[in-house]
Amino acid sequence: MSFQTKAAGQKVAPQMRISKTAWILIGVAGVAGIVAAGITLFEWNMLRHPLAGYVSAKVGRSIKIDGDLHVDVSRQPVVSADSIIIGNASWSDPTNR
């Protein structure tokens, strides 16, 4: 380890430099942390109405979500909801509606 010298002959310790790869890794870790915090803190109940509309269009029945949405983001994400009301199919007996 060599020392840089000042004009008066005093020795100065070399400065630590962070490599470009380290800065990239720090940036990627920071973005991953922000995304993880966003997913954890997100208010999933805001998606009740859009989710019910989407599923209703796909299955052809009226769907209403009255309860809370629970989301577990992991290797196998799980979405569950409380108090789901699914209407009868259009071809079903009208007395059961």
- Name which residue leads in pLDDT, 92 or 23: 23
Q: Where are the domains of the chain?
A: 18-96
Q: Indicate the pLDDT class of residue 2, thresholds 50, 70 and 90.
A: low
- Contact, 84 vs 64, CB < 8 A? yes
**One-character DSSP codes across 47-82:** GHHHHHHHHHHHHTS-EEE-S-EEEE-SSS-EEEES
Residue 10 has pLDDT above 90, yes or no: no
- Contact, 14 vs 4, CB < 8 A? yes
32-86 pLDDT, tens digit per residue, is 999 989 888 889 999 999 999 999 999 988 999 999 998 888 889 898 999 999 9
Residues across the chain: 97
Question: Cα(94)–Cα(85) distance, rounded to whole angstroms?
Answer: 17
Residue 8 has pLDDT above 80, yes or no: no
